[in-house]
Structures are given as structure tokens and as C-alpha cells.
Amino acid sequence: MKNILIIDDEIDICNNIKAILEDEAIYTAQFALNSNDALAFIEKNNYDLIILDVWLDNSNLDGLEILKKIRIKNDVPIIVISGHGNIDMAVSAIKDGANEFIEKPFNSERLLLSVQRSIELFDIKNENHLLKQGNIFDYEFIGESQAITKIKNQIKKIGPTSSRVMIYGESGTGKEIIAKEIHKNSPNKNGPFIAINAALLEPDKLENLLFGSLDLEFNDIGYLEKAANGTLFIDEVGEMPLQTQAKILRVLTDKNFTKIGSNKTTELNCRIICSSIKNLEQLTIEGSFRKDLFHRLNVVTIKLPTLNERSEDIDSLIDHFSNLFSQKNNLKLIDLKPIIKAKYINHDWPGNIRELRNIIEKYMILGDKYDDINSTKEYEDFQSKNVISLPLRNARKVFEKNYLQSQINRFDGNISKTAAFIGMERSALHRKLKQLGITEEDK
């Protein structure tokens, strides 16, 4: 969970922002109504992000003064908000260390996008620091099976080159981990590793995020520029709109790009690695992916095995994740291999490594009290195809419940990302979850 501090003198606004954030199930929030309380909270607590209003009535310091004080000791991401915003104020806030500036009134999706982006960029910066130090053990490439040994040998050959790489694999097989391994073995290993998921970004904002924009709303350089001297990983590249595909093709051809609203070109100076669940060659036949872009990106191909296809690695994966969560959460180390192998002996691991990882984390935290969705009668009926004997209405409910639960788990409880991926409005998804009896605890 990401912990966020809201600093605003209007309690209704604080409660509204708090509700929007906590509705996502991945954020917790508290608020301060004046500078004294805000600085006291910051002194006592560690926050993942701060949302800061510029104008604070009945407060010793205004928002920009608080911003300067925070920046003396703390590198936490800060989003500045104001109902009296202008370009000069935005420039001043960014100059003093704000990550983004949002003008009131703003809608919930705009706020959530800024929060997500600010935290992700901050995490990327920290992650790159850890990558350079070789301490990011959460992303180690685990396994000694024949399939994984083959991929490790591929990485040894691919890494030192500048060739573009296409990684294919089912959801949860570790496509981003492979991309990071290639980066760590590349000439750009000391540069940034920037990851984006084309399936989760709104199509009309994807170009702004890739190329950067001079618009006040974005006020940021794009991912292509952030990845300079490093690696840009585009996950689910097959979901990229055709219009954006054409512009990416032009970038790869000309080896430069232009920010939205600018005439100045910037040199392309990063390695591009892509991944896809879908067969891009088939998409080119169907006309939803450009053939010329496919050949530009598909220089070297890596096909990841499912967890079932590398089942001999399960023991080492269990040990790795058990050690990981023991260290991260200060938990007693437990040998989970007998429990998991007995309970999941005939399991087909539809969520692959991500599913195994989530199960281990829940066992480490909840112990014997953990009873996951795979043990419920409805899911057993669904998996064993007994659903065929159910009336259509009941069968549809079983499918919807398990489908939505799997997608929510896939996106770590993030309702916005889940809604975007499955193509539902966030409010409609909330109603559906309530209708199907999927509680906050389940999520």
C-alpha cells in the first residue's frame, strides 16, 4: 500500500481526495489542514507521495513554502494543486521541486493519473539506483530448467548488443523481468530502465507520455527522453493504436522524435524492448498492427514458457519468494514447498509466476488462515467444467466472479487499471463487484 499525505485547508476537499485514493485499494491517505500539522506528520511518518495545496488559510506557511521545507530533507514525490493556478505558479512549483501541478477543479481520473505517474517515476528512479548496485532481489531471474537455461544463454548473447528485442509470453510469465535482465547485461546498464504498459494507458494520452508535451496539463518530458542512455520497455505493444504505431515507426526510422506542441527534435538514444501476449505477426495479417513496425521491433525474439512448462523451477521459486517476503515484511521464514505442492498438485497455474508469487505472499502473511479463491466450491466447479451443468445465469456468475477476481489480482487490487484493461467504467466495475459479492478483503 502506498501512503499519501494530503495538505489542504478545506476538509471537504481532503475527504474527497482521500476517498478517491482509497477507492483504488492500493493507497492509504491522511490529511493535514495547516502547515504545522503537515510538517509534524512528515517528521513522524514516511510518505510515498504528498498532495499539496498552494493556498492555506489560517496557516503559518503557504504551500510553496512548505514545498521548499520538504525538499531540504525529503525526496518524496509532490503534486501541487491550486484553484488559482497559472503558468507562472506552475513553473515556480516545478522549479521548487514539485513533480506535477494540477489546477482545481480536477476530475478523479486526472488526479489518479498524476498520482500513479509520480509514484511510478519515483519508484523507477529508486529501482535504477538499486539496479546499479545489484541489490534489487525482487527481480532476480530464478530457475535452472532447460527452458530457462536456454533463455539465460540468449540473454548473454543479446544483452551486450543494441538490438531490439521482442518478448512473447502469457500474463505472469515474467516478461518485464527478462527485459530487466537484458538491460542489466547491456552497454546501457548504468542508464535508466523505463517500463510502460500500452494496454493500461489511455490511447489519447499515450503519445503525450511517450514523446512528452509542452502542454501545462502534462508538463513533463516523455518516456523516450526519460530512457535516454538506457532502456525503454513497452509492455503489450500490440495494444498501441495504429496512429501511435506510425509515429513510433517514424522515430525508429529517423532516430529522433518531437514533443507534442514543439518543432524541436530530440535524438533517440535508448534501447527499445517490447513484449506481447498476442502474436504480433497474426495482428499484422488482421491489420491491427503495422507490418513495417513489426519488422523494426522484432529483430530478436524470446518466447517465455508458462510455469507448467518449467514446473521443475517451482521449488526454487517458492524458496526465492519466501525469502523475499520474509525479509521485506520481517516475517518468520516458513518452508512452504510441502503445503503448496500438496494443495496445488493438479493446478494448471493460469496466472503463471505472478499467481505463485501472490499465493506465497498471502501464505507468509496470513498463514493457515489463508484460503484462496482456488479452494472455493464455485472455482472448483468452474475449473472441473462442472459449470456446464449449471443454468446459464449461474454459470455466467461463476465465470464473471472468477474472471474479475483474477484480473483484480493481476493488477494488485488497482480498480482503475482493472477497469481500463477489461473495458468497463470504474463505477460500473465497483457495482459489478458488489453485485457478485467480491469484498474489499477479497481484493
pLDDT digit string, tens, across residues 397-431: 777 888 888 788 777 777 877 887 787 777 778 87
Nearest to 251 by CA among 159, 164, 168: 164
pLDDT over 90 at 204, yes or no? no
Task: Give residue 52's pLDDT.
Answer: 93
The C-alpha atoms of residue 345 and residue 116 are separated, in whole angstroms, by: 38
Task: Give residue 154's pLDDT.
Answer: 95
pLDDT over 90 at 113, yes or no? no
C-alpha cell at 336: 512452504
Least confident of 33-42, 134-143, 220-229, 355-364: 134-143
The C-alpha atoms of residue 208 and residue 205 are separated, in whole angstroms, by: 5
The C-alpha atoms of residue 101 and residue 227 are separated, in whole angstroms, by: 22
Task: Give residue 119's pLDDT.
Answer: 85
Residue with cell 463487484: 433
Task: Give residue 371's pLDDT.
Answer: 54
Q: What is the mean pLDDT of residues 108-124?
A: 82
pLDDT over 60 at 369, yes or no? no
| Phi, psi dihedral angles at 240 (to 5 degrees) | -70, 130
pLDDT over 50 at 441, yes or no? no
pLDDT band at 372 (very low <50, low <70, confident <90, very high): low
Task: Give residue 137's pLDDT.
Answer: 40
Residue with cell 514533443: 259
The C-alpha atoms of residue 263 and residue 252 are separated, in whole angstroms, by: 18
Q: Under DSSP, is residue 293 helix (H, G, I), strand (E, B) or coil? A: helix
- For residues 251 and 297, the answer to whether their CB atoms sit within 8 Å is no
pLDDT over 80 at 67, yes or no? yes
Distances (CA, A) of 33 to 45, 233, 391: 16, 40, 55
Q: What is the mean pLDDT of residues 197-213?
A: 77
Q: Under DSSP, is residue 295 helix (H, G, I), strand (E, B) or coil? A: helix
DSSP symbol at 215:
S
Nearest to 418 by CA among 219, 195, 171, 212: 171
Task: Give residue 136's pLDDT.
Answer: 41
Task: Give residue 316's pLDDT.
Answer: 92
**All domains of the chain in start order, with CATH:** 2-109 (3.40.50.2300), 136-303 (3.40.50.300), 373-443 (1.10.10.60)
Q: For residue 30, how many other CB atoms are within 10 A of its CB? A: 14
Residue with cell 498501441: 240
> Kindly report the CA angle at 190 between 317 and 262, in degrees rounded to 5?
115
Q: For residue 123, how many other CB atoms are within 10 A of its CB? A: 13
- For residues 142 and 317, the answer to whether their CB atoms sit within 8 Å is yes
pLDDT over 60 at 370, yes or no? no
Q: Which residue has the higher pLDDT, 74 or 272?
A: 272
Proportion of the chain above pLDDT 70, given as a percent: 85
Q: What is the mean pLDDT of residues 329-348?
A: 82
The C-alpha atoms of residue 123 and residue 126 are separated, in whole angstroms, by: 5
Least confident of 89-93, 140-144, 360-364: 89-93
Task: Give residue 125's pLDDT.
Answer: 64
C-alpha cell at 53: 495545496
Task: Give residue 343's pLDDT.
Answer: 81
Indicate the pairing of strand 256-258 with strand 300-303.
unpaired
Nearest to 101 by CA among 48, 68, 63, 65: 63
Task: Give residue 284's pLDDT.
Answer: 95
Sequence letter at residue 363: Y
pLDDT digit string, tens, across residues 293-323: 999 999 999 999 999 999 999 999 999 999 8
pLDDT band at 368 (very low <50, low <70, confident <90, very high): low
Task: Give residue 377's pLDDT.
Answer: 44
pLDDT over 80 at 60, yes or no? yes
